[in-house]
Amino acid sequence: MYTGILGAWVAVFLTLSILSYLYKDNVFYKLAEHIFVGVSAAHWATIAFWNQVQPNLFGRLWPQTDVASLSGFDKFWYGIYHGLHVLFGKVFPEETLNGVLYRGIGDQPQNLTYLFAFILGVFMLFRLIPKIGWLSRWSLAYVIGMAAGLRLYGYMSSDVIGQIHATMLPLWTGHLGSSINNIILIVGVLTGLFYFFFSVEHKGALKVVSRIGIYYLMIYFGASFGFAVMGRISLLIGRFNDLIEYSGKQYWFATPILLIVMVVVLVLTTRKEKEEA
Partner 1 sequence: MAKQSFIERLDTLDRRIIFLIIGFVVLMPLLIPLGLPIETTQLTEDAFYALDDLPVNAKVLLSFEYGPSTKPEIHPMAVSVLRHLFSKGNKVIIMCLWPDGLFMANEALDLVARQEFNLEYGVDYVNLGYRPGNEAVIKGITKSFEANFSVDAKGTSITAIPIMHDIQTVKDVDFIFSFSAGYPGAIEWVLYAGDPLKVPVSSGNTSIQVNQLLPYVKSGQMKGVIAGMPGAAEYETLLIKKVENGEGQLNQQARMLLPDFKDNRDATKFMDAQSIAHLVIVLFIVIGNISYFVKRKKQRKY
Positions in the binding site for partner 1 (CB under 8 A) = 22-23, 43-44, 47-48, 51-52, 55-56, 59-60, 106-108, 146-147, 150-151, 154-155, 157-159, 162-163, 165-166, 185, 220, 223-224, 227-231, 233-241, 244
What value, to the nearest 5°, has the Cα angle with vertex 271 and ends 266 and 275? 150
Q: Nearer to partner 1 by C-beta: 100 or 150?
A: 150
Residue 224 beta carbon to partner 1: minimum distance, rounded to whole angstroms: 5
Q: Nearer to partner 1 by C-beta: 157 or 208?
A: 157
Residue 46 beta carbon to partner 1: minimum distance, rounded to whole angstroms: 9
Q: Nearer to partner 1 by C-beta: 6 or 228?
A: 228
Q: Nearer to partner 1 by C-beta: 100 or 146?
A: 146
Long-range pairs for 9-13 at CB < 8 Å and ≥24 separation?
A: 9/246, 9/251, 9/252, 9/254, 9/258, 11/242, 11/246, 12/242, 12/243, 12/246, 12/254, 12/255, 12/258, 13/258
Residue 232 beta carbon to partner 1: minimum distance, rounded to whole angstroms: 8
Residue 189 beta carbon to partner 1: minimum distance, rounded to whole angstroms: 10
The answer for residues whose C-beta is within 8 angstroms of residue 179's C-beta and 6 or more apart is: 170, 171, 172, 173
| Of 140, 123, 141, nearest in space to 132 by CA | 123
Q: Nearer to partner 1 by C-beta: 241 or 250?
A: 241
- Give the type of residue at 37: V
Residue 133 beta carbon to partner 1: minimum distance, rounded to whole angstroms: 23
| Of 261, 18, 235, 20, nearest in space to 253 by CA | 261
